[in-house]
Structure 1
Amino acid sequence: MRQRRTEAPEQGRAARLRQWLGRALTGNGHERHTVVFIGKSTLAATAAWAVAYYVLKAESAAFAPFSAVLMLRVTVYQSVWHSLRYVVAVAAGVAVQLVFGFLFGTGLATFALVAATAATIGRWRRLGAEGAQVGTAAFFAFSTYVSAASGLERLSQLGEIIELVALGCGIGVLVNVLVLPPLRYRSAEYGVQVLARSLCDLMSDMYPALRQGELDEDSAAHWRDRASRLGPLVTQAQSSVDLARESSFYNPRRILRRHARDHAFAGYQAVIDALERVTYQVGSMTRSLTQYPKDGDGPEHAGFFRRYGDLLAALTDVTQLLGDLDEDRLDEQTTQLRAAAEDAREHCRRLAEYAQDSLPLADPSRPYGVLLAEATRLMEEAEYTCDVLRRTVASP
């Protein structure tokens, strides 16, 4: 009996790992992009190390792969822009060390002066997040400067640091451009897609277990953990709209299309805001599911969760449609979304009627009432998301 209890969690973890790998291979959500990022990081770092160490015979070859991985940004636009700022920040840090090292030597007071100056330059807002690299580069440069034997060798090695950083940045940007380029991130619709697909993946795993009465503490805790990890995707989705809007200023086609969909960014922002509320509602639902009654209430208990699973299956269809959002097919997709939302509303009505007739909703020791309220709010947020998208398409 004890052996059976220890095997079940291991089997559950193995099943979840297979599901994760399946989503990574066949989906286009968070799991897929995690795998892509790992692969591109490996390729960029290896290529940068090979060039720096085997071709250039550089003594500080690690600067190249380190810089290459940092340049694998969300968009190609970001990669290019951040690589320029990163090279400037590193050059500034090396320059600070070169000047103060030449003037004052390599004592502790000089290091303190280098650190203070680098920290001051790093606060320059034009450098953005790369400002911290001024100090990092200055400290590495100081270490290199101290260990060098002669003035000419010091100058050569400090110049090599800048060369390797520029090399790494170039390779990182090149890999981002040529290997599975994240072009979809240029469109605001991508933010809706990745968030909706992640929601779809989560609910796709939940509703079969609820329908079949296989809900257990381990599964509920796993769903809750996955729902808690949707928060960063909301932030990414919000950023995707800002990046798309920002990138459009550098796109010459904006002149030809400026009258086509000037309202698109505002519309996608509204949809993402609505999906953010759906995400929080799903998280709240998974927290409530961890408190489901262990002993149940007979067949009424199974009937409630079976209908709950039916509702989640219908909402999965809604999120799947949002995950396939295509700006060129919005008219067609909003019609499909309307039908899917109406189907989900019907399942929500059946769930509410069954619960009111068969279960003790007012009993605070039973979570049925809470779960029903969670399902109703989730349904309303999903409907509102579809309405926002429909109004975006209909607006002139």
Structure 2
Amino acid sequence: MNPGVGTGMEQETAPPQRSEAAAQGTLDRMRQWLRRAAGSDGHERHTLLLIGKSTLAACVAWAISYHLMKAQSPAFAPFSAVLMMQVTVYQSVAQSLRYVGAVSAGVALQGVLGFLAGPDLLTFALVALAALAIGRWSALGSQGSQVATAAFFAFSTYIAAAGTADRFAQLGQIIVLVLIGCGVGVLVNLAVLPPMRYRSAEYGVRTLAHSLCDLVGDMYPALREGELDGERTGHWRQRAAQTESIVHQARTAVRTAKESVYYNPRRLLRRHQGDTSFSGYGALVDALERVSFQLASVTRSLERWDDGDSSPQGREFLRCFGDFLASVGVITRLLSEVDEGRLAEQARELCAQSREAQKCHRRLTEGAEQGLLPLTDHSRPYGILLADASRLMDELQYTCDVLQQCVERETADPAP
């Protein structure tokens, strides 16, 4: 048998096999995605719900604009309806108001300039210039770009109309269609399983605390063993710097959770309104942000440990600092498991662990003083690390106090 023929047959059959494997892998991932959507109230289920509600809103808006109104440009209504399907009812209402304002400004701009200058290229240039300038108005927010979009569509509608009366009628119809689409979008979002994000605030705090817990969990074993090098400490510093983006995500999660309550009828089905919890979660994010700053300072100070201090006093200092960070890791782990239904119990656990961390911090400070370490030598990191540890302990204690105050407010003023 010719070896070349066998090789050619293998080359011809290999691509279909790889294609089948890739297709099977895609199907498996799709099935897993659907199982997650069916099994938990997470991102996958929210995505399916948004797709279904957007489809319903588009169909209703199209039926009204095309079948009932016989509009010449019926697509404005379903486009507006889908655009208004925001993550919360509050955002749907707020964005619909901005969107209607932006579209009305663009259409009115075209109507005035078209009437004064006529439908020619110079008019289009003036419309584009004015629309893009108005779109920069901060009050329109993210909908500012719709001023130019509406003006351009209005211009094409304006020049296609037969007479002046028909032109203004078509421009007015655009605004009516946008109003219908926005109204349909908001009503569908309000009436069909309006999105609630009570848990997103909790999730944001958990994610932030978990990232800090992971960082501390990598640091304290190395400190206990005295295994420090420039590559490891540099990696810690980079990870600490990355927590800034996680803090921003946590703030967004808390804000979304709070907004999901506004104008939402599903809040009436819950016993707790959640306002106090949201303020508590916001305060927790603020406190954890300051903790992340102090941890970043610790990593920068540890990066200065570049002389490989192998003295018994230096190794003992690192071991005690590792013990202190281990107690910090327990606190961040507890915060990464925060649960609205167990806040009182978790607050007690955090207070108890905070007292343990205080003991570790005192042993660290006393050991450094008794070990005759050069604490005042600014070229060595001992004094700086002790100062970082003190500030970190203060921020952790404040974080525990914030959670305790949140629990006390809930107990003193329970929601109806």
TM-score of the superposed pair, with normalisation by structure 1:
0.64
Q: Render the CA deviation track for 1:59-99: whole Å, top value 9, x for unaligned.
A: xx9xx99x98x9897x4346634653575366346525753
Q: Measure the CA separation in 1 of the matches of 2:105 and 2:270.
A: 43
- Select the residue among 131, 140, 145 that pairs with 1:133: 145
Q: Render the CA deviation track for 1:166-201: whole Å, top value 9, x for unaligned.
A: 79x97xx99xx99x986522xx44443332223223
**What is the match of residue 281 of structure 1?**
294
Q: Render the CA deviation track for 1:260-312: whole Å, top value 9, x for unaligned.
A: 87643443343333223212212222222222233324343333223322222
Q: CA deviation at 1:342?
A: 2.1
Deviates more, 1:207-216 or 1:307-316: 207-216
| Matching of residue 250 in structure 1 with residue 263 in structure 2 | yes
**What is the match of residue 324 of structure 2?**
311
Q: CA deviation at 1:149?
A: 10
Q: What aligned pairs does 1:259-270 form with structure 2 within 5 A after superposition?
A: 263-270=276-283
Q: What aligned pairs does 1:178-189 form with structure 2 within 5 A after superposition?
A: 184-185=199-200, 188-189=201-202
Q: CA deviation at 1:109?
A: 5.1
- Select the residue among 310, 325, 341 that pairs with 2:354: 341
**Is the alpha carbon distance of 1:336 and 1:120 closer, same or farther for their aligned partners in structure 2, counting shifts above 3 Å?**
same
1:360 alignment partner, SS class = coil
**What is the match of residue 8 of structure 1?**
none
Q: Measure the CA separation in 2 of the matches of 1:298 and 1:139.
A: 75
**What is the match of residue 105 of structure 1?**
119
Q: What aligned pairs does 1:79-118 form with structure 2 within 5 A after superposition?
A: 80-81=92-93, 84-85=96-97, 87-88=99-100, 91-92=103-104, 95-96=107-108, 99=111, 102-103=114-115, 104-108=118-122, 110-117=124-131
**What is the match of residue 399 of structure 2?**
385
Q: What aligned pairs does 1:1-396 form with structure 2 within 5 A after superposition?
A: 75-77=87-89, 80-81=92-93, 84-85=96-97, 87-88=99-100, 91-92=103-104, 95-96=107-108, 99=111, 102-103=114-115, 104-108=118-122, 110-117=124-131, 119-120=133-134, 123=137, 125=139, 127=140, 129-138=141-150, 141=153, 145=156, 184-185=199-200, 188-252=201-265, 263-358=276-371, 359-395=373-409, 396=412
- Percent identity among equivalent residues? 39
**What is the match of residue 9 of structure 2?**
none
Tell me the amino acid that sits aligned with residue 392 of structure 2: L
1:198 alignment partner, SS class = helix
Q: Measure the CA separation in 2 of the matches of 1:81 and 1:236.
A: 23
**Is the alpha carbon distance of 1:220 and 1:97 closer, same or farther for their aligned partners in structure 2, counting shifts above 3 Å?**
farther
8 Å contact from structure 1 (residues 204, 313) kept in 2: yes
Q: Measure the CA separation in 2 of the matches of 1:133 and 1:376.
A: 50
8 Å contact from structure 1 (residues 227, 286) kept in 2: yes
Q: Measure the CA separation in 1 of the matches of 2:292 and 2:156.
A: 52
Q: Render the CA deviation track for 1:88-114: whole Å, top value 9, x for unaligned.
A: 366346525753675432424542344
8 Å contact from structure 1 (residues 341, 382) kept in 2: yes
8 Å contact from structure 1 (residues 288, 371) kept in 2: yes
Q: Measure the CA separation in 2 of the matches of 1:296 and 1:351.
A: 17
Q: CA deviation at 1:380?
A: 1.7
**What is the match of residue 19 of structure 2?**
none
Q: Measure the CA separation in 2 of the matches of 1:145 and 1:133.
A: 18
Q: CA deviation at 1:351?
A: 2.1
8 Å contact from structure 2 (residues 196, 260) kept in 1: no
Q: Measure the CA separation in 1 of the matches of 2:101 and 2:204.
A: 30
Q: Measure the CA separation in 2 of the matches of 1:140 and 1:291.
A: 60
Tell me the amino acid that sits aligned with residue 388 of structure 1: V
**Is the alpha carbon distance of 1:254 and 1:145 closer, same or farther for their aligned partners in structure 2, counting shifts above 3 Å?**
closer
Q: CA deviation at 1:335?
A: 1.8
**What is the match of residue 16 of structure 1?**
none
Q: Render the CA deviation track for 1:315-362: whole Å, top value 9, x for unaligned.
A: 121112112211211111112112222222222222223322333212
Larger radius of gyration: 2
8 Å contact from structure 1 (residues 115, 138) kept in 2: no
Q: Render the CA deviation track for 1:36-55: whole Å, top value 9, x for unaligned.
A: 79x979x98xx99xx9xxxx
Q: Measure the CA separation in 1 of the matches of 2:137 and 2:329.
A: 46
**Is the alpha carbon distance of 1:313 and 1:122 closer, same or farther for their aligned partners in structure 2, counting shifts above 3 Å?**
same
8 Å contact from structure 1 (residues 195, 237) kept in 2: yes
2:377 alignment partner, SS class = coil
**Is the alpha carbon distance of 1:280 and 1:221 closer, same or farther for their aligned partners in structure 2, counting shifts above 3 Å?**
same
Tell me the amino acid that sits aligned with residue 208 of structure 2: L
**Is the alpha carbon distance of 1:112 and 1:202 closer, same or farther for their aligned partners in structure 2, counting shifts above 3 Å?**
farther
